[in-house]
Amino acid sequence: MSETEIWKNREALQEQADFSSHLFQLQNRITSKDFSKYFQLTESEIIGIEKTIRLNVGTTPYYLLLADPLDDHCPIRRMIIPNEKETFLSPEESIDPLNEERLSPVPGLTHMYPDRVLLFSNHECSVYCRHCMRGRKVSFSKERMDGDALEKCFSYIRNHPEISDVVISGGDPLNLSDNKIDWILSNLEEIEHVKICRLGTRNPVTNPMRITDKLCEVILKHNSDRLSIFCNTQFNHPKECTTEAKEAIFKLLRAGVSLGNQAVLLKGINDKPETMLDLHRKLLEMRVRAYYLYDPELIPGSRGFRTSLSKGLEIIEFMRGKIAGMGIPQFVNDLPGGGGKITLSPNWYLGYHKSSRAHVFRSALTGDFHFSYEPMDSESTSLYQEISEQDFQSYLSSSSNPSKDPFLLPKKI
């Protein structure tokens, strides 16, 4: 299809009378068979569409129009259209890398942490993001989360009083009807020991029209002194921070919902430190706090998205000092095999010099070395990584910071 025809098709799509309706977006999702109407597909993309081993291919018209029809390196396009790298299964990859199924006491519920559970409310998404870690759920699941299945989940939660926090995910829980969401939240609110509910949704990014006044009324009704409702969404690139997305976020904020962002580090999409900084600056303008930056999961066909572990550390180090702390995500690895999340951080703490009781730090702002005392009566010195006399003297001589001065004084005999 010619470039002119592609632009005409995209204009016609946006001019649809109901384009601003979330139901239009869901009922008119563009699937792979029609992608050639809106993109000049590369040979690699054609192969990826035909032979992907990942998950279904489809997107809302809104999110499609954020993608460049001519540039196959466009970050939004990369998250929509598979390429041939999705056709290979690497030995280290798994359909369930976090072992969630093994940790599922009843279908649709994962209980990994003692005090919280993950509830899969449904298996539908507005967009099939190519980096999705739950392709087994949103594309190939044999489970159907109907009322009976959800009742079994609620029963399990009721019978486990240690559970105080329920994460509702999917699929995307906001793809459910307002009545179904109302019913789910009502059930959780009635369980005395459940105090926190977290909605995991990408709809503010992929279908912001879904955040309607009626939906927000439902959420506000249950966001009470009995149940505190939070929302974690996933913006991965500054291009996603649109006027429509901002409006959706503000509606949720007015419903009393605290919002955090869980970005996924994706090769060739957002793995430049400047890109991640720009994204989180825009998110703060939208009043969304940084939460996590995920190291990509070892899911089938994901070799095209995975970065080196050092890339995430480089990004966090770059961001520190350039944006407020609430705009810097925690870089986390959700451990393969179901070990839970661990945080990873640049090496700003260099160690402990025992004879002088000095802790040595590297400034994220200037790169200079800083020094601090351990208390005289401390009983924790054996817990610290010790640094040698040679390294300590090297840090002192390299530092231009006045915190080194006490350690340069002659030792008292």
The pLDDT mean for the chain works out to 95
Q: How far apart are CA 145 and CA 180, in angstroms?
A: 11
Q: How far apart are CA 43 and CA 85, in angstroms?
A: 12
E-strand stretches of 170-249: 196-200, 228-233
Q: Is 268 left (phi over 0), alpha (psi -120 to 50) or beta?
A: left
Which of 318, 344, 370 terminates a domain? The answer is 344
User: Domain check: are 59 and 165 in the same one?
Assistant: no
User: Domain check: are 176 and 124 in the same one?
Assistant: yes
pLDDT tens sequence across 96-150: 888 888 999 999 999 999 999 999 999 999 999 999 988 888 877 677 899 999 9
Which of the four pLDDT bands, split at 50, 70 and 90, describes residue 355? very high
Which of 344, 370, 398 terminates a domain? The answer is 344
User: Domain check: are 162 and 125 in the same one?
Assistant: yes
Which residue is it, tokens 């095209």?
A: 304
Q: How far apart are CA 35 and CA 53, in angstroms?
A: 18
User: Domain check: are 169 and 269 in the same one?
Assistant: yes
Assigned domain for 97 exists:
no
CA-closest candidate to residue 111, choices 184, 165, 150:
165
User: Domain check: are 159 and 177 in the same one?
Assistant: yes
| Spatial contact of 6 and 40, defined as CB atoms under 8 Å apart | yes
Assigned domain for 83 exists:
no
User: Domain check: are 233 and 206 in the same one?
Assistant: yes
pLDDT tens sequence across 253-303: 999 999 999 999 999 999 999 999 999 999 999 999 999 999 988 888 898
Query: Which pLDDT does position 378 carry in this prediction?
Result: 93
Which of the four pLDDT bands, split at 50, 70 and 90, describes residue 81? very high
User: Domain check: are 323 and 371 in the same one?
Assistant: no
pLDDT tens sequence across 305-350: 999 999 999 999 999 999 999 999 999 999 988 889 999 999 999 9
The range of the structural domain enclosing residue 363 comes to 349-408
Which of 344, 375, 394 terminates a domain? The answer is 344
User: Domain check: are 367 and 314 in the same one?
Assistant: no
Per-residue DSSP letters for 290-338?
Answer: EEEEEPPP--TT-TTT---HHHHHHHHHHHBTTB-GGGSPEEEEE-TTT
Say whether pLDDT at 413 is over 50: no
**Across the chain, how many H-helices and E-strands are there?**
14, 14
| Spatial contact of 205 and 235, defined as CB atoms under 8 Å apart | yes
pLDDT tens sequence across 213-260: 999 999 999 999 999 999 999 999 999 999 999 999 999 999 999 999
User: Domain check: are 334 and 354 in the same one?
Assistant: no
For the residues 185-193, what does the mean pLDDT come to?
Answer: 98
User: Domain check: are 340 and 353 in the same one?
Assistant: no
Report the run of H or E that residue 278 belongs to, with start and end.
helix 273-285
Assigned domain for 80 exists:
no
Assigned domain for 85 exists:
no
Assigned domain for 98 exists:
no
User: Domain check: are 60 and 135 in the same one?
Assistant: no
Q: How far apart are CA 340 and CA 43, in angstroms?
A: 39
User: Domain check: are 174 and 252 in the same one?
Assistant: yes
Query: Which pLDDT does position 410 carry in this prediction?
Result: 67
Assigned domain for 88 exists:
no
Assigned domain for 179 exists:
yes
Assigned domain for 178 exists:
yes
Which of the four pLDDT bands, split at 50, 70 and 90, describes residue 87? very high
pLDDT tens sequence across 357-380: 999 999 999 999 999 999 999 999
Percent of the chain with pLDDT over 90: 87
State the total domains in the chain: 3
